[in-house]
Amino acid sequence: MIVGAIGLIYAFVAAPSTIEEVKEMMADDTSHGSSDMGIVDQDVEFANPDHAEGDHILVDDHDNEHYEHLLHQLQNKPWAALYIAAFFFFMIALGTLVFYALQYAAQAGWSPVLFRVMEGITAYLLPGSIIIFIILVLSGLHLNHLFIWMDPEVVAHDKIIQNKSGYLNVPFFLIRALIYLGGWNLFRYLLRRNSLRIDEDSKDNKWFKQNFKLSAGFLVFFIVTESMMSWDWIMSLDPHWFSTLFGWYVLSSMIVSAITVIALVSIYLKSRGYLEYVNDSHIHDLAKFMFGFSIFWTYLWFSQFMLIWYSNIPEEVTYFVTRIEDYGLPFFGMVVMNFVFPILLLMNSDYKRVNLFVVMAGIIVLLGHYLDIFVMVMPATVGESWFIGIPEISAMLLFGGLFVFVVFNALTKVPLLQKGNPFIKESKHFHY
C-alpha cells in the first residue's frame, strides 16, 4: 500500500509542478519588480544627498518634501507586496499547524484521515519562516522602510516611539522573531517526527500520547507568541496605534485561511483519487469550520472597529480613517468577501457537502484574507499610493508557487493515511 501511495502521489507531482513552472514564469516579474525598485532606490539616493537640487522630473509642480514622501511610499511598495505575500502563505502554514495541534489536543475522531494533508501544508512553515526572517533582517538593516520605528531619525523626533523603544528596537525585535519562528518550527518538527513514528510502532500509542502532550504545549506557546508576533510584525507598522485584540484578529484570519487551504487541498487530492477515505462528511466538517471562523473573523473585525469608532480617540481612530478614506474598496470589499459571501453560500447544510460550493467559497475567502493582510500592512507602508498591480500579483504568484511546490512535494513523501493513529478507524467511518 505504501508503494502504491508513493507511486500514486508521485504522479501528481507532475501536475502541480507544471502549475509551479507557470507560476515561476509569472514570478519572474517579481525580479523585474525588484530591479525597478532598485532603480527607484537609486533615484532616492541621488535625491537625498542634494536636497537643494531636488528631483528632476516633477519637481516644478510638487513640493519637494511631498515628492520625497511619495517616493518613499513607492519605494516601499514592492517590499510591502513581498512582505504581504510572504506573510500570507506563512500564516496559512502556521494556521494549519495550529489546527493540526488542535485535532491532537482534542483527540478528534473525525480528522485523522486528513492529518497527512495538514502535515503537508505545514511543510511550508520552515521555508516561510526563513523568508519572513530574511525580510525582517533586511528591514532591520534599513534596506527597506517597512517599519518606520526602525529609522533612528524618525524615533528622534517622536516621543511616543521613544517611549516604546524599550520594546520596539531592532535587536530585541529580531530576537523575538527568532524565538517565535524557532519555537514553531521545533514543534512542527517534533510533531511530524512523532506522527511518522505512530505508523511504525504504536505500542500503547506511545507516540500518539507524546503528540497529544506536544500539541497542548504548542497551543499554549503559540497563543502567546502569536499575539506578540502580530504586534511585532504587523501592528508595529503603525507604531502609534494599538489594539488589544489585534492578536486575535490576526489569528482568526490565519485559522480561516488555513482551514480553507486544507479543504481545497483535500478536495483536489480527492478529485485525483488519492484520499480514498475522505468522504463528503469530512469536507462538510471543514466547511463548517470555514463558516464558523468566517463569522468569528467578522466578529473581531467589527469589535475592533466599533470600539475605536465609538470612543473616537484621535490616535486610535486615524488607523480606520486612513483605511476608510484611502482604502474604502478593499476595506469594505473584504467584509463582503469574508463574511457576506461565505455566510450566504455555506449556510445551507447541503451546500457544505458540494465540492463546487466549498471551492468557490474557499477561493473568495482566501482572496478576502489576502486583502485583509493587504489592508493591515499597506496603509502604514505605502499610504495612499496603493494599487494591486504587478508587484503584488507577482509576489503572490511567487510565494503561491513556492507554497504549492513545497506542500505537494511534502505530500508525496509519505503515505497519505496515518494508519497507526488509534482514531483512524473512527475517522474512516466518519459519517454525519
Residues in contact with other proteins by the rule CB under 8 A:
302, 305-306, 309-312, 347, 349
What is the nearest approach in angstroms of other proteins to the Cβ of residue 276? 23
Using the minimum distance from each CB to other proteins, give the nearer residue, 319 or 408: 319
Q: Rounded CA gap, 257 and 424, in Å?
A: 25
CB of 350 to other proteins, least distance (A): 9
- Report the nearest approach of other proteins to the CB of residue 339 (Å): 12
Strand ranges (DSSP E) for 298-430?
Answer: none
Residue closer to other proteins, measured from CB, 45 or 310:
310
H-assigned helices in 201-236: 206-233
The three grid cell numbers given for residue 41, joined into one nine-digit string: 532606490
Spatial contact of 85 and 395, defined as CB atoms under 8 Å apart: yes
Length of the chain: 432
Are residues 226 and 247 in contact, defined by beta-carbon separation less than 8 angstroms?
yes
* Residue burial 173-199, b: 16+ Cβ < 10 Å; e: rest: bbebbeebbebbbebbebbbebbbbbb
Q: Tell me how far, at minimum, the Cβ of 349 lies from other proteins, in Å.
A: 7
Residue (218 or 339) nearer to other proteins, CB: 339
Amino acid at 337: M
At position 278, the amino acid (one-letter code) is: V
136 vs 308 by CB, closer to other proteins: 308
CB of 202 to other proteins, least distance (A): 29
Residue 299: CB minimum distance to other proteins, A: 9
Q: What are phi and psi of 61, to 5 degrees?
A: -85, -30
Contact at 8 Å (CB) between 342 and 294?
yes
Nearer to other proteins, 76 or 294 (CB): 294
First-residue to last-residue Cα distance in the chain: 28
Cβ-based nearer residue to other proteins, 86 or 300: 300
Cα(366)–Cα(88) distance, rounded to whole angstroms?
10
Instruction: Give the residue carrying C-alpha cell 477561493.
Output: 363
Comparison of 244 and 349: residue with beta carbon closer to other proteins? 349
Half-sphere exposure of 398 (CA within 13 A, CB side): 25
| Identity of the residue, 223 or 306, whose beta carbon is nearer to other proteins in the bound complex | 306
Report the C-alpha gap between 27 and 32 in whole angstroms: 9
What is the nearest approach in angstroms of other proteins to the Cβ of residue 75? 36
